[in-house]
Amino acid sequence: MTNEYRKTPEAISALTDLQYQVTQRDGTEPPFRNAHWNNHDPGIYVDVVSGEPLFSSTDKFDSGTGWPSFTRPIDPEAVTTKTDWKMILPRTEVRSAIADSHLGHVFRDGPRDAGGLRYCMNSAALRFVPASDLQAQGYGAYRRLFENTQKENAS
């Protein structure tokens, strides 16, 4: 796998209807009925369109909302934000930097000890790469995020 992350017509055509609705039409999937809200396995979450690394399970927490929630992105430059006025009050929309995929929203009600932010993401916008598969899938540079976890589990 290459580290060249980009949005291609082939990637768009490979999306499921729900993935397309969420990433390309700014949709939202149902809470508690999505792939990653209750995933507790170590690994990273990448943009389903471009493969760009976005979030790590080391920054994931149970927000009780029914969507995967993170305290921060892997790299602040991996996401962009903009004001979303679709609800009565403005929200901050989160998009992937490279493919411009709609991911979800960020709120200021996350864990205070981790910065206070809650990146509430749609599972349909993310592909999970287990820590044990990072090297094989071309994300070996991110193994360092899990080295302490793997040592602790071995003892």
Task: Say which of 94, 120, 134, 145 is annotated catalytic.
Answer: 120
| Paired tokens of 122 | 């749609």
| Paired tokens of 88 | 């009565």
CA distances from 63 to 37, 66, 114 (A): 9, 8, 13
Give me the residues paired with residue 126 across strands.
47
Instruction: Check if 120 is active-site.
Output: yes
Strand, helix or coil at 9? helix
Cβ(34)–Cβ(122) below 8 Å: yes
CA distances from 144 to 5, 45, 56 (A): 20, 15, 11
Closest CA to 83 of 92, 71, 74: 92
Which residues are identified as catalytic?
A: 120
